[in-house]
Structure 1
Amino acid sequence: MRFRFRAPLWEWSAQGGWFFVTLPDAASDDIREVPRMPRGFGAVRVWVTVGGSTWSTSVFPDSKQGSYVLPVKKAVRTAEGIAEGDDVDVVLEVLDL
């Protein structure tokens, strides 16, 4: 399962320093529909590319928005020159199938 999308980078207001991109509703629905073993916090393992940076991480369900969110670590934000509010082009491949 592979997705390409563009979405803004945002900072989690409850705890500064954590930045995320929200997956589109359609991608979140597709990920949610696949039966899988439960993992901590409902995490789903993914492989992600943003610009020239590629890494392994997890997406997490956001109960308020109903979508999955992708954490974007500082090393990637720095390497790709992205900041809060910037639109981010993401290629995401789900590893937990």
Structure 2
Amino acid sequence: KTEADIALAKVYEHSAALILYDAKAPETLKHALPGGNGIAFDWTLIGSGHAAPSFILSGGLNAGNVAEAIKVTGASIVDVSSGVEKSPGIKDIDLIRDFIAAAKAAR
């Protein structure tokens, strides 16, 4: 949510191979999961230099926004879950293909 949240993860950069940045679920979201909520966050927080050097970008990504997310953050690894679902918990092969194509095109 904030630069402080992003910077806090840097504490682990020497003990973790990669840091996964994902959106915090809002407190108003009942039964929120630790991930897969389809919520994006301000990617400029990652691009501002406060992020760990090796990271995975997650949080609300889909075929329509992954290229911009990669452009803003410089992410070389992205994670998707609900962004490729046709309904909750049901992955869609066409959405997966579109996501991969969009991510590759962003390079």
Q: Could you tell me the TM-score, scaled by structure 1's length?
A: 0.29
Q: Could you tell me the TM-score, scaled by structure 2's length?
A: 0.27
More strand by percentage: 1
Which structure has the larger Rg?
Answer: 2
